[in-house]
Homo-oligomer: A and B are copies of this chain.
Amino acid sequence: MSAADARLSPSDYVILGILAAAGPTTTYGLKRAIASSVGYFWPFPHAQLYAETARLSTLGLLSEMQEDGGRRRRVYSVTPDGRAAVGRWLETPTPEPAQFRDLGLLKLAFGSLAGPEAVAALARDQAAAHAERLRVYEAYAGMPMDPHVRATLELGLRYERAALDFWREAIPGADGRPPVARSSPAPRPRA
């Protein structure tokens, strides 16, 4: 079975992990549980749940039951094999570096193509967005939750604070100074 582990994506482990922690759950329940735990940093559109749960079922890592009541929704639980797969995953090292896809940062990289005012506007914009996000995280952190999920939230807070500081400090705002730290005199883009 260890060989089959290679074929499981991170999304699969999210499903298995949530089910292992929360017990038998409907698809909608999964959606809710994901949203209130890893969902804030690991996006998981609900449509994907249907594809992945089906796949995990055929692999024997999930078992599927039909509700008796009127709506006859599917209820999933993790099988012993599934639980073992999560366990192994949690114990194996994670060499691949984290990826952060930040559109604001991407735009900044091309700042030399835009005017300094555009870069300044971007910085104000991003600072506001990160401040808002920080507010949301802080509110969320006030609620009761699993201690490990809380720990991930703590890193989220640190990331947001780092980003907020960056957009406020490292890039000047609307005050007309050059768009990068004063120590480097901003040469024109080569070619």
Contacts and interface: CB of A to CB of B under 8 A. Distances in A.
Contacts of A180: 147-148, 150-151
Contacts of A170: 151, 154-155
Contacts of A139: none
A170 B151 CA distance: 8
Contacts of A158: 162-163, 165-166
Nearest to A166: B155
Given A110-B148, A180-B148, A98 B102 contact: yes
Given A41-B102, A147-B180, A129 B162 contact: no
What does DSSP make chain A's interface, helix, strand, loop or mixed? helix
Contact of A148 (B43, B133, B150, B179): B179
Interface residues of A, number: 75
Contacts of A95: 129
A69 interface: no
Interface stretch (A45-53, A57-65, A114-122): A114-122
A106 interface: yes
Nearest to A189: B21
Given A42-B106, A191-B22, A113 B96 contact: no
B148 A166 contact: no
